[in-house]
Amino acid sequence: MSAAPDSTPAYSYLGPVGTFTWEAMRQVPDAEGAVWRSVANVGEALDDVMTGRSVAAMIAIENSVEGGVSATQDALATIPGLRIIGEFLVPVNFVLVARPGTRIEDVRVVSAHPVAYAQCRRFLESAIPSHGHIPAASNVAAAAGLLESTLAEAAVAPPGITDHHELEVLAEGIGDNPNAVTRFVLVSRTLGLPERTGADKTSVIVELPDNAPGRLLEMLEQFATRGVNMSLIESRPIGDALGRYRFVIDLDGHVRDERVADALLGLKRFSPNVMFLGSYPRADQQQIEVVSQYGDDVFTDARAWLRGILDGGAPA
Amino acid sequence: MSAAPDSTPAYSYLGPVGTFTWEAMRQVPDAEGAVWRSVANVGEALDDVMTGRSVAAMIAIENSVEGGVSATQDALATIPGLRIIGEFLVPVNFVLVARPGTRIEDVRVVSAHPVAYAQCRRFLESAIPSHGHIPAASNVAAAAGLLESTLAEAAVAPPGITDHHELEVLAEGIGDNPNAVTRFVLVSRTLGLPERTGADKTSVIVELPDNAPGRLLEMLEQFATRGVNMSLIESRPIGDALGRYRFVIDLDGHVRDERVADALLGLKRFSPNVMFLGSYPRADQQQIEVVSQYGDDVFTDARAWLRGILDGGAPA
Amino acid sequence: MSAAPDSTPAYSYLGPVGTFTWEAMRQVPDAEGAVWRSVANVGEALDDVMTGRSVAAMIAIENSVEGGVSATQDALATIPGLRIIGEFLVPVNFVLVARPGTRIEDVRVVSAHPVAYAQCRRFLESAIPSHGHIPAASNVAAAAGLLESTLAEAAVAPPGITDHHELEVLAEGIGDNPNAVTRFVLVSRTLGLPERTGADKTSVIVELPDNAPGRLLEMLEQFATRGVNMSLIESRPIGDALGRYRFVIDLDGHVRDERVADALLGLKRFSPNVMFLGSYPRADQQQIEVVSQYGDDVFTDARAWLRGILDGGAPA
Amino acid sequence: MSAAPDSTPAYSYLGPVGTFTWEAMRQVPDAEGAVWRSVANVGEALDDVMTGRSVAAMIAIENSVEGGVSATQDALATIPGLRIIGEFLVPVNFVLVARPGTRIEDVRVVSAHPVAYAQCRRFLESAIPSHGHIPAASNVAAAAGLLESTLAEAAVAPPGITDHHELEVLAEGIGDNPNAVTRFVLVSRTLGLPERTGADKTSVIVELPDNAPGRLLEMLEQFATRGVNMSLIESRPIGDALGRYRFVIDLDGHVRDERVADALLGLKRFSPNVMFLGSYPRADQQQIEVVSQYGDDVFTDARAWLRGILDGGAPA
């Protein structure tokens, strides 16, 4: 872990070089030329941001094979002052690697992070029926370990691993789900908002006022009445008592979109506790289609109309 | 109908002196000392306002025995520039009157406006089983006519009639429904808003964007998500095609209440056609109880919170 | 009013012959050959049905120039055991009639029911600027009266009047709104349901459980969640206290449509007081378009699926 | 892994003896005396159930430190014929264990499953600042390994570990979150429904018909209109395309509760794909409080009322 000199900004990520999180980091233009701090877990990454050691941290937030998703959501819900400033997708795929010259029929023991091992189980059971498994601390550590000891003949690793280690690929695309993707977010302490691009996402965490039936419905009406679509909703236990949940929500659009801003106002009034996590460009760059009824001008027009009434201007 | 001199404001009402509308007019402090223009129907009354002959007109808007309610709603929906500035309730009750010295057993023929006649039918059939009915143009005309012709021995009239005509009351409280009340509104062309009193009402007329199922529900969510209660909703045919309706709606609260203003914004965005008819003190002076969740300060706080986000201020 | 012999069914209508209600009656196939009882108002008509004097009564329920709409709704809400079995539309139009040989420039005084007079005011003021008005008990009585007295030279009457009286038409289509239509319903005490035609309407009257904001919304969700469209909603004061309302509602569809039946179940559970007024063919014979998601088979399939779960049948 | 003789039912769980899943299994009365099959992951556990090797499998479904939660939800969503028949809670706590005689100051290297290691990081960093970490395949394997090799001096393990292995506890309650609980479900292929206890939960997985804004709201209205509360909702990517989600939902109540059954009917009609995962007693045994408006009798009464209408019985 290299120290960040004063003049160079640092970014924290779940390392080492070659992990899926590292792949996500490579998609961040501003991180080029910066110091990359490899950390061991989400807590450490966010800690770097909170203490100022790093300007931002890349963390998995959905569907990760490296774990940490719930941890991420809970961290964002409880650590004030964090903002998501970007979103990145990394295809989750695995290769089986070995020391140069090894053939697949030579493999007796496979080294793999337990979660990655589970994701490739179907392939491994069929290709190497009687193999043994040695757990590793990370996907990259499994591969790197091949060069340090002969306990295992092969390792499960991310595809880019051969750029960093003298290993050979025995099999590609060995994950059970070929379309698996992990979603990462870049988290910072900045209060500036990323520019509106037209293909944006807004993340919030919201608590319900109480446990009465229909409360979640009431909350969602705040979005529906403004034509705001949700792309993600998850309930997470608040942790102070069983049965108390908060909701992690992703909305289509940017807080600078009138309909999103108005929905957030409604949410803030409704909920005893709303955390705004950020508005940022969507990783898939898909433009949000807004029904004309909810365009910015409709909001502006309505305000002008109301102002006319309040000021005693021309009648409607 | 007296002419209104330049210096004295005029008020139009469905006359003559003694009608229920006249009773409603007597509740208007500003009308004291003004010219009172007696007119024959709602259209004429509103015409006086539109042309400036009168500063305001009193018209029945709900539950009237003098008719005109649908006419009133439709007039308000189609004549731009009108504003409701006050609401008044008049108990609808009837007396049976006759020329001095007449006894009830002398009555053979009863003069009555057809609607009033229908409202007192039960009493008349029981008290004067074999009477005849002569229709009159208004409740007051029925009574006044007794002094001009002897075609009828008695007339159905409003209770105050004996203040204006030399007649005697043969029976009181002869209406079939003793609790009947008519609701009147005072309509003006002013754009100034009556002061907020805490016991206010806001009237609007709204069209739905189209005929799809659930559209009305969507509209009502605009109110529900802001804790705004409706005290009246009526569908009225728009008239351009069968099955197309507009809605006449009364809301609890004043447009200067944050929650009402915000609901109107939502309504304006949702509907292709919203008419703001006015915010004015409720006739029953009942204070609106607002759930704390929807108080003005909640709206102000939410806006401050959002502004903080947009301006890059302190995080939430 | 002819007496109904035991063997011939009787129908009650707001008479006399020639009224708009009479026009509506002419659209009822079953009424052909029956006794037609002419009555004076809605109460009398419904009374005939309740006592068995008539098998059915035709009454105006919306947009009537003969009054009685609120009265009809309130009567249906308070008299148990009534059912709507048919719906009929009558264009509301007026002619100006006179004794044969009269020219329009000879007219000094016009006889008219007060409500009809109001509806034709614009024409009368322009065509006969300085006329006087004599009120009549009904539209037909106004016309018939021309033949009995010379107090008036002309009368406002329904278009068919010349079929029944020796009068001449001075002007046609004199109503201010050329598209005006009155909607009538045929009311009976039968409990049998008219056949489902695919172009049906279901009428109910519903009270809300209490006055809390959002209650009406909750009620409408019962319809929206089943894809049931409303063609009419009106709030009517219940009458026991100011601010308490019931709702008169027309739904698209027949109670034998699964989605309507299910919505009624939801309504019944939600409301302390629901009155089913009937399912009957729509006057406009417009087929209801049901989204496939709410077709009868979808309801049947869902029930089969649930039964499978409850019976321990095949898993879903 | 012992073979299950024909006569003895088998239960599968994430082993070995001593894991949190094993703790959950101990709460199942029917599992006493049965064969317990220790398996390596969720897929293997469910496979045992599908092939009939086991009658049921215990799997973590929420908040697990042993991973597998997303895997569980996705497995339940894609494998037809599975049913949840019970729910169990296990406090997630850890101890630091060592070979007898070891003192905490002797510890240089800690063996731990990577996820458990992350959960105890705060304690470990403070109590043993300069320790090394050797990953293990499971919490129990970490502890058991201490007796087989001397690579590590201590291991992170579940509290019950000393019942099964000759180890000593160096520190208790070392997890960073002292209140952590994992929720497990017992999954079977049976189609019989567990008895209704009054403290039940119903689990479903539902897809939305399409991606239109407000669709989730429409779905939740199916619950709200029947007074059914949700205790859990999570969106999970369907996997066929980015942005397509299914929802994992827990409802308060049993499918034999009328309101739950009716809500499921609504859900089935609304959604192109609903999976009923089961109704089963809640682990916390908390009785569901049902608003009287949604009691079973209300549903029965409404059906009787509707039947009366359809059969032409007594009017409402």
- Give the pLDDT confidence of D186-219 residue by residue, as tens digits: 999 988 899 999 999 999 999 988 877 778 888 9
Cβ-nearest to B220 among C133, C216, C234: C216
Handedness of CA C205, C209, C213, C215 (dihedral sign): negative
Cβ-nearest to D243 among A113, A223, A231: A231
Asked if D313 lies within 8 A of C191 by C-beta distance, the reply is yes
Summarize pLDDT for A13-61 with one digit per residue, the tens.
988 888 889 999 999 999 999 999 998 777 788 889 999 999 999 998 8
Burial profile B202-235: b = 16 or more Cβ within 10 angstroms, e = fewer: bbbbbbbeeeebbbbbbbbbbbbbbbbbbbbbbb
- Residue D9: cis peptide before it, omega within 30 degrees of 0: no
From CA B36, how far away is CA B54, in angstroms rounded? Answer: 9
Cβ-nearest to B135 among C136, C229, C232: C136
* The token pair that represents B58 in the structure block: 């009193």
Cβ burial, residue C308 (10 Å; 0-12/13-18/19+): middle
Per-residue confidence band for D24, with pLDDT thresholds at 50, 70 and 90: very high
Asked if D299 lies within 8 A of C255 by C-beta distance, the reply is no
Task: Give D227's contacts in chain A (Cβ within 8 Å).
Answer: 213
Specify the pLDDT at position C1: 43
Q: How far is C41 from chain B (nearest CA, A)?
A: 7
Asked if C239 lies within 8 A of B177 by C-beta distance, the reply is yes
Q: How far is A264 from chain B (nearest CA, A)?
A: 8
Interacting residues of B265 by C-beta distance below 8 A, sequence separation 6+: A262, A299, A302, A303, A306
Asked if B269 lies within 8 A of A294 by C-beta distance, the reply is yes
Asked if C227 lies within 8 A of B213 by C-beta distance, the reply is yes
Cβ-nearest to B312 among A191, A298, A316: A191
From CA A151, how far away is CA B95, in angstroms rounded? Answer: 109
Q: How far is B50 from chain A (nearest CA, A)?
A: 13
Task: Search chain D and give the residue with CA nearest C308.
Answer: D191
Cβ burial, residue A103 (10 Å; 0-12/13-18/19+): exposed
- Name the segment(s) of chain C with CATH classification 3.40.190.10: 1-92+180-192, 95-171
B interface test, pick of C217, C238, C293 with most B CB neighbours within 10 Å: C217
* The token pair that represents D8 in the structure block: 């003895």
Cβ-nearest to C229 among B133, B213, B223: B213
What element of type H or E holds A115? helix A114-119
Whole-angstrom CA distances from D95 to C262, D27, D173 are 56, 21, 6
ipTM score assigned to the predicted complex: 0.84
Task: Give C231's contacts in chain B (Cβ within 8 Å).
Answer: 243, 245
Chains in touch with A (3+ beta-carbon pairs under 8 Å) read B, D
Chains in touch with C (3+ beta-carbon pairs under 8 Å) read B, D
Specify the pLDDT at position B280: 96
Specify the pLDDT at position A239: 63
Specify the pLDDT at position B315: 44
Task: Give A274's contacts in chain B (Cβ within 8 Å).
Answer: 316
Q: List the CATH code of the domain at A193-316.
A: 3.30.70.260
Q: Averaged over B282-296, what is the pLDDT?
A: 87
Q: Averaged over D65-80, what is the pLDDT?
A: 69
Question: Are C186 and C47 a contacting pair, CB within 8 Å?
Answer: no
Architecture of the domain delimited by A1-92+180-192: 3-Layer(aba) Sandwich (3.40)
Task: Give C245's contacts in chain B (Cβ within 8 Å).
Answer: 231-232
Neighbour order of strands in the sheet with B168-172 = B132-135, B109-112, B154-157, B95-98, B168-172
From CA D79, how far away is CA B40, in angstroms rounded? Answer: 76
**Phi–psi pair at B96, nearest 5 degrees:** -100, 120
Asked if B310 lies within 8 A of A224 by C-beta distance, the reply is no
Half-sphere exposure of A135 (CA within 13 A, CB side): 20
Q: Is the pLDDT of residue D88 over 90?
A: yes
Q: Hey, is B24 helix, strand or coil?
A: helix
Give percent above pLDDT 90 in chain B: 51
From CA B174, how far away is CA B177, in angstroms rounded? Answer: 9
Cβ-nearest to C316 among D265, D274, D316: D274
Q: Averaged over B144-172, what is the pLDDT?
A: 92
Q: Hey, is B310 helix, strand or coil?
A: helix
Specify the pLDDT at position D242: 55
Interacting residues of B303 by C-beta distance below 8 A, sequence separation 6+: A265
Summarize pLDDT for B166-209 with one digit per residue, the tens.
999 999 999 987 777 888 999 999 888 999 999 999 999 999 88
Cβ-nearest to D315 among C80, C226, C266: C80
Neighbours of A129 (CB within 10 A): 7
Q: How far is A190 from chain B (nearest CA, A)?
A: 8
Q: How far is D152 from chain C (nearest CA, A)?
A: 49
Question: Are A175 and A119 a contacting pair, CB within 8 Å?
Answer: yes
* The token pair that represents A98 in the structure block: 């070995």
Asked if C235 lies within 8 A of B232 by C-beta distance, the reply is yes
* The token pair that represents A314 in the structure block: 């021309």
The CATH homologous superfamily of the domain defined by D1-92+180-190: Periplasmic binding protein-like II (3.40.190.10)
**Phi–psi pair at B296, nearest 5 degrees:** -55, -40
From CA A314, how far away is CA B190, in angstroms rounded? Answer: 10
Cβ-nearest to A265 among B222, B256, B303: B303
Give percent above pLDDT 70 in chain A: 91
Q: How far is C101 from chain D (nearest CA, A)?
A: 56
Asked if C216 lies within 8 A of B230 by C-beta distance, the reply is yes
From CA B219, how far away is CA C91, in angstroms rounded? Answer: 31
Q: Averaged over A194-206, what is the pLDDT?
A: 95
Q: What is the CA radius of gyration of chain D?
A: 23
Task: Give B268's contacts in chain A (Cβ within 8 Å).
Answer: 301-302, 305-306
Cβ burial, residue D98 (10 Å; 0-12/13-18/19+): buried
Chains in touch with B (3+ beta-carbon pairs under 8 Å) read A, C
| Total CB pairs under 8 A between chain A and D | 111
Asked if C294 lies within 8 A of D269 by C-beta distance, the reply is yes
Neighbours of B63 (CB within 10 A): 18
Architecture of the domain delimited by D95-172: 3-Layer(aba) Sandwich (3.40)
Q: Which residues pair with A95 in a beta bridge?
A: A157
Q: Averaged over B240-265, what is the pLDDT?
A: 87
- 3.40.30.10, 3.40.50.300, 3.40.50.720, 3.40.190.10: which CATH number matches A95-171? 3.40.190.10
Question: Are D279 and D194 a contacting pair, CB within 8 Å?
Answer: yes
Chains in touch with D (3+ beta-carbon pairs under 8 Å) read A, C
> Under CATH, what is the fold of the domain B1-91+181-192?
D-Maltodextrin-Binding Protein; domain 2 (3.40.190)
Task: Search chain C and give the residue with CA nearest D204.
Answer: C316
Summarize pLDDT for C131-167 with one digit per residue, the tens.
888 877 778 889 999 998 888 999 999 988 999 899 9
Interacting residues of C210 by C-beta distance below 8 A, sequence separation 6+: none
- Name the segment(s) of chain C with CATH classification 3.30.70.260: 193-316
Cβ-nearest to A67 among D115, D136, D224: D115
Which three-class secondary structure string do you get for chain D?
CCCCCCCCCEEEEECCCCCHHHHHHCCCHHHCCCEEEEECCHHHHHHHHHHCCCCEEEEEEECCCCCCHHHHHHHHHHCCCCEEEEEEEEECCCEEEECCCCCHHHCCEEEECHHHHHHCHHHHHHHCCCCEEEECCCHHHHHHHCCCCCCCCEEEECHHHHHCCCCEEEEECCCCCCCCEEEEEEEECCCCCCCCCCCEEEEEEEECCCCCCCHHHHHHHHHHCCCCCEEEEEEEECCCCCCCEEEEEEEECCCCCHHHHHHHHHHHHHCCEEEEEEEEECCCCCCCCCCHHHCHHHHHHHHHHHHHHHCCCCCC
Of B47-56, C294-303, D126-135, the least confident: D126-135
Asked if B302 lies within 8 A of A269 by C-beta distance, the reply is yes
- Name the segment(s) of chain D with CATH classification 3.40.190.10: 1-92+180-190, 95-172
Task: Give B255's contacts in chain A (Cβ within 8 Å).
Answer: 306, 309-310
Question: Are A77 and A205 a contacting pair, CB within 8 Å?
Answer: yes
Which of D87, D52, D82 lies closest to D277 in space, CA to CA? Answer: D82
Question: Are B180 and B118 a contacting pair, CB within 8 Å?
Answer: no
Task: Give B223's contacts in chain C (Cβ within 8 Å).
Answer: 213-214, 217
Cβ burial, residue C150 (10 Å; 0-12/13-18/19+): exposed
| Total CB pairs under 8 A between chain A and B | 102
Cβ-nearest to C221 among D224, D306, D313: D224
Q: Which residues pair with A212 in a beta bridge?
A: none
Task: Search chain B and give the residue with CA nearest A256.
Answer: B310
Task: Give A181's contacts in chain D (Cβ within 8 Å).
Answer: 242
- Residue A16: cis peptide before it, omega within 30 degrees of 0: yes
pLDDT in tens, chain C (316 residues): 444 455 689 999 988 888 889 999 999 999 999 999 998 777 788 889 999 999 999 998 876 554 446 667 777 888 888 999 999 999 888 999 999 999 999 999 999 887 788 789 889 989 998 888 887 777 888 999 999 888 899 999 998 899 989 999 999 999 987 777 888 999 999 888 999 999 999 999 999 888 777 788 889 989 988 989 888 888 777 766 556 678 889 999 999 999 999 999 999 999 999 999 999 999 988 888 887 788 999 999 999 999 999 988 544 4
Task: Give D302's contacts in chain C (Cβ within 8 Å).
Answer: 265-266, 268-269
Neighbours of A37 (CB within 10 A): 20
